[in-house]
Chain A
């Protein structure tokens, strides 16, 4: 070991949760053995929009064997607390989407619960639903970002390029469906389950149950994937389970099966994005005029923040003096859309990247040239006027994939290849480059002031106490690495406690690529302070010995710290101007495809993914994030399609909502770029969402080149490609 050199950070030790998961010892919420627990099932609407006149309970069923909860049983407010508090916990009056919860039934066993469910019917009066966001006039939120003078920019441009881009829903399809168990206690309610944000659930429960904060405890169980899908919806299930448990006077567990999960829980927002770009003959972009419309679904949920991120990212990783981005989210009578890895950015980045290809074509430049000419760098400002001063890896990631993918040559080669009649395969190459704001938008982190504690236990070992959850991404391992590195102790000496709102401080939700960067930096500070205190107490001992002595002689010790936003970060929420994010991660992709000209099936033959993550605390986990996110983005691009009919999800199973299998997964060549962020722990920036942002655009671009069309709508299914090819003839 080189003195002073990092030993734990930058290494890839075995994940903290590997053993229990690999050996099957991990207990998911459905595995927990809880004495006397009943099964909860949800009665849902089947119409997209209707007035609920009555819930009918068939007298043929013996209702004394079960417990039924309706809106009338709610002791607190009938609301799932979120940004707008508009979503009821159980319908009381008007049904606004086709999978809306109306009642909860709890029964001693699954069979009885299912029987009871079949004996409930809804007496409704149908109302006319709004099912398409492009025709909805019910805006729930809008933004406008203005920089320079877009009209003048357009007027002075040599050329104006226009494009319209559309993307569809995406289902998170975590392997473990959602589930919660609520256990009534003398002094309140304990709720355990598969969730991302224990403090969100905690807040929602206090409102619905009308309980004080200390009467509700929320604890996470081992969580089998989330991708944003367990950010907000667990509050709904927790409220249902808790209401049923309260009425039944016993624990009630609600675990969705796959079909209910796909039908009812939140998805990625469909969006329509229009671009008008003013360019000069030399390739410079002088004006960007962007209009974004997102489909919020039936309730507000997190849509205003999703739209915000989408809006800020709509100008992509490019400098442009005159920019206008106008966005709005509208309501439709479809299941509410919500958080999903990328949080609005993948939609608008897809649009701007496809638009850049269109600009390149209009100017006779290659996609690489046009990006090189306009790429953002240190000293440039973003659309919100944020001056980029350091940790900007945009050029490095672009050049890394350009070199590794031999892009200049390959693109030209494929572009100039003559089309052969009766050929079986067509090939194409696509490129994308993008950025992703790490941490909460604007003043989010300043308001939140996420907390973290590091504690010395009685056994002389250390414990990281945070509200941040492990959901497969590796947070438990990475936060332990940060604390161990800072303390200078072996990784085995540090544990990360499972989040439980009665034990851990509120570190903020596990979202927005903020856990490593924001919470990790607070953990590092707390660890440093704890180390300093131990050092002061036992100046002659090395830290591990000091910790043991302290534990024996003076007992445990805990240091709590909270996030202090950098003083030079400024954000004007009213004007939507300033430093939108503490820092950005940068990514780039090259995708090569072969399209079968008989079937229009697409095969990705090469995929490169470069990511500037500041510092890879655990390089193997970072590569996993990059590869997983890239695959999820590719699948959104050509495979995954949610089919709605009259507002009802038609493909609610893994048989008909298809995600890629191993055979559909190309080798993804990962290139990690490290442009350290001085305020991140050991230089780290967020990485969770970045890889979701660009591969779909690169894929669409590659298909476009292969077929000689413009793929502007996702997913680029063979059926859509056939229409495009026919239309272009």
Chain B
């Protein structure tokens, strides 16, 4: 572990100050709740950087509310606040459900949705839900102002994001007319466990029962959170029945690329992904 001899910490009090600080030091490490960074620094897995911008005291980033036809969740909204938010519960209950599975109560009190997104772990609990909801991640820089990034385009490679060095995440926007999302997390134990596999699934069906659109998103089965587009395609335009479900499950292994790691195995993840997808889709039948 090599430490910078000193770490300069800037603590902006407004979004303007935060963007200005970042413009002055592009690439500075952004600190929100610190639940990932503090652990990594203490464990020597990441170097202590020269410059840190601590966003904890930027009030504009912490709001949760409805604006027009979208739910807005500020990047600094903690998992505890998401869980307790009537707006989130009304318009994106699966997001509240996912936030409820993040770490322990203490982690939920500090950890933020913006941090979960920026940390870009393939196991980030809220990320498949954001994918399944077609969420928009709104980022901003001082020079260019706000820029919407579809969740689908946000995680570019293992632990890489579309965020430019002078940008920060402002909020997440979720359309209110989205179909409900089913969230399923498979961990090693019943609480405080990192996902071995997680799935977020939403379907829009016609009056006749055919699948008009499907979103099947996954955590911990690829270098990034991913959508299973082939499996989605296998359902689109079909009635939800044994044949289409079978086709979707059969297509899934081409969409995901799970690995053996300390938590689980490739084989297990493949099996579980297919099994929980089959179970979830079968539950929708009828």
| Residues of A participating in the B interface, judged by any CB pair closer than 8 Å | 118, 259, 422, 424, 597-601, 639, 643, 650-651, 653, 655-656, 658, 660-664, 718-719, 722-723
Instruction: Known contacts A424-B279, A718-B268; decide if A650 and B262 are in contact (CB<8 Å).
Output: yes
Does B21 belong to the interface (CB within 8 Å)? no
Q: Which of B51-59, B143-151, B152-160, B187-195 contacts A (4 or more CB under 8 A)?
A: B187-195
**Assembly CA distance A655 to B276 (angstroms):** 25
Interface size class of B (residues with CB under 8 A): 20 to 34
For the complex formed, measure the closest distance between the CB of B6 and the CB atoms of chain A, giving whole angstroms: 13
Chain B residue contacts of A643, Cβ below 8 A: 262
Q: Which of A118, A422, A597, A723 contacts B1 (CB 8 A)?
A: A118
| Residues of B participating in the A interface, judged by any CB pair closer than 8 Å | 1-2, 43, 186, 188-194, 262-265, 267-268, 271-272, 275-276, 278-279, 282
Chain B residue contacts of A655, Cβ below 8 A: 194
The answer to whether B189 touches A651 (Cβ under 8 A) is no
For the complex formed, measure the closest distance between the CB of B223 and the CB atoms of chain A, giving whole angstroms: 19
For the complex formed, measure the closest distance between the CB of B95 and the CB atoms of chain A, giving whole angstroms: 21
Q: Which of B189, B193, B267, B278 contacts A722 (CB 8 A)?
A: B267
The answer to whether A661 touches B188 (Cβ under 8 A) is no
For the complex formed, measure the closest distance between the CB of A257 and the CB atoms of chain B, giving whole angstroms: 9
The answer to whether A259 touches B189 (Cβ under 8 A) is no
**Assembly CA distance A664 to B190 (angstroms):** 6
The answer to whether A719 touches B1 (Cβ under 8 A) is no
Instruction: Known contacts A259-B43, A661-B192, A664-B191; decide if A601 and B186 are in contact (CB<8 Å).
Output: yes
**Assembly CA distance A257 to B192 (angstroms):** 20
Instruction: Known contacts A643-B262, A656-B262; decide if A664 and B268 are in contact (CB<8 Å).
Output: no
For the complex formed, measure the closest distance between the CB of B47 and the CB atoms of chain A, giving whole angstroms: 12
**Assembly CA distance A661 to B187 (angstroms):** 13
For the complex formed, measure the closest distance between the CB of A682 and the CB atoms of chain B, giving whole angstroms: 40
**Assembly CA distance A599 to B264 (angstroms):** 12
If A598-B276, A643-B262, A661-B190 are given as contacts, then 16 extra A-B residue pairs at C-beta distance below 8 Å, sorted by A number, are A259-B43, A424-B279, A598-B275, A598-B278, A599-B276, A653-B43, A658-B188, A661-B192, A662-B191, A663-B189, A663-B190, A663-B191, A718-B272, A722-B267, A722-B268, A723-B267
The answer to whether B275 touches A656 (Cβ under 8 A) is no
Closest to B275 in A: A598
Q: Which of A118, A259, A653, A656 contacts B263 (CB 8 A)?
A: A656
Instruction: Known contacts A718-B268, A719-B265; decide if A639 and B190 are in contact (CB<8 Å).
Output: no
The 16 sampled A-B contact pairs (Cβ below 8 Å) are: A118-B1, A598-B272, A599-B186, A599-B275, A599-B276, A639-B189, A651-B262, A655-B194, A656-B263, A661-B189, A663-B189, A663-B190, A719-B265, A722-B267, A722-B268, A722-B271
Top-7 shortest CB links A-B: A598-B275, A663-B190, A663-B191, A719-B268, A661-B191, A664-B189, A664-B190
Closest to A719 in B: B268
For the complex formed, measure the closest distance between the CB of B109 and the CB atoms of chain A, giving whole angstroms: 17
**Assembly CA distance A259 to B44 (angstroms):** 12
Instruction: Known contacts A259-B43, A655-B194, A719-B264; decide if A639 and B275 are in contact (CB<8 Å).
Output: no
Chain A residue contacts of B192, Cβ below 8 A: 661
Chain B residue contacts of A656, Cβ below 8 A: 194, 262-263
The answer to whether B279 touches A660 (Cβ under 8 A) is no
Chain B residue contacts of A661, Cβ below 8 A: 189-192
**Assembly CA distance A656 to B191 (angstroms):** 13
Closest to B39 in A: A655
For the complex formed, measure the closest distance between the CB of B39 and the CB atoms of chain A, giving whole angstroms: 8
Chain A residue contacts of B278, Cβ below 8 A: 598
Closest to B1 in A: A118
Chain A residue contacts of B189, Cβ below 8 A: 639, 658, 660-661, 663-664
Chain B residue contacts of A653, Cβ below 8 A: 43
Closest to B42 in A: A257
**Assembly CA distance A723 to B267 (angstroms):** 9
**Assembly CA distance A599 to B278 (angstroms):** 12
For the complex formed, measure the closest distance between the CB of B273 and the CB atoms of chain A, giving whole angstroms: 10
**Assembly CA distance A183 to B268 (angstroms):** 52
Chain B residue contacts of A651, Cβ below 8 A: 262
Most buried by B among A118, A601, A650: A601
